[in-house]
Amino acid sequence: MIRVHVFYSGRVQDVGFRFIVQRFAVALHLKGWVKNLADGRVETVLEGDKDAVEQCCVKIENHFKGNIRNIDLQHEDVRGAFEDFQIRY
């Protein structure tokens, strides 16, 4: 199990980013959340099986390759605090 905290910048709002991230995360049985930030970035926390988290990150990068300008990914300690994956508002 791993946990990553990721900030995506670029043209990542108003393009369905949160909904696609949620779809990928749920399909890969990940837990956590995703939300838009006031500064135009999207923030997400993904927690689950190492391969699934890595696969989700690759899927996000590939799906939005023309939109993402920068990715700030930080590994954190697994906390097991989530029951599912949600879009936060």
Q: Is 70 a catalytic residue?
A: no
Q: Is 88 a catalytic residue?
A: no
d(CA 20, CA 26): 10
Of 36, 41, 67, 69, the active-site residue reads 36
Listed in sequence order, the residues at least 6 apart from 16 whose beta carbon sits closer than 8 Å to its beta carbon are: none
User: Are the beta carbons of 85 and 30 closer than 8 angstroms?
Assistant: yes
Of 3, 11, 18, 70, the active-site residue reads 18
In one-letter notation, the amino acid at residue 83 is E
> Which candidate, 79, 23, 72, 73, places its Cα nearest to that of 48?
79
Catalytic machinery residues: 18, 36
